[in-house]
Amino acid sequence: MAKQLHLITVGKLKDPHLEHIEKDYLKRISHPELVIHELKASAENKDAEGEAILKKVRDLAPTGGFHLVAMTEWGKRSTSVAFAEWTKVLIERPAKVIFVIAGAEGFSQEVLQNCQERISLSELTFPHKLARILLVEQLYRAQTIRSGHPYHN
CATH number at residue 27: 3.40.1280.10
The pLDDT value recorded for residue 1 is 63
**Domain housing 71:** 4-146
Examine residue 151 and state whether it is found in any structural domain, yes or no.
Answer: no
The pLDDT value recorded for residue 36 is 97
Q: How many domains does the chain have?
A: 1
The pLDDT value recorded for residue 2 is 65
Q: CA nearest 68: which of 97, 90, 47?
A: 97
Examine residue 152 and state whether it is found in any structural domain, yes or no.
Answer: no
Q: Which of 34-48, 65-79, 85-99 has the lowest mean pLDDT?
A: 34-48
The answer, yes or no, to whether residue 108 has pLDDT greater than 80, is yes
The answer, yes or no, to whether residue 152 has pLDDT greater than 90, is no
The pLDDT tens digits of the residues spanning 2-25 come to 689 999 999 999 999 999 999 999
| Rounded Cα gap, residues 72 and 121, in angstroms | 8
Examine residue 153 and state whether it is found in any structural domain, yes or no.
Answer: no
Examine residue 127 and state whether it is found in any structural domain, yes or no.
Answer: yes
Q: Which residues, 6+ apart, have CB-to-CB distance to 133 below 8 Å?
A: 18, 21, 22, 25
The pLDDT value recorded for residue 112 is 97
The pLDDT value recorded for residue 41 is 86
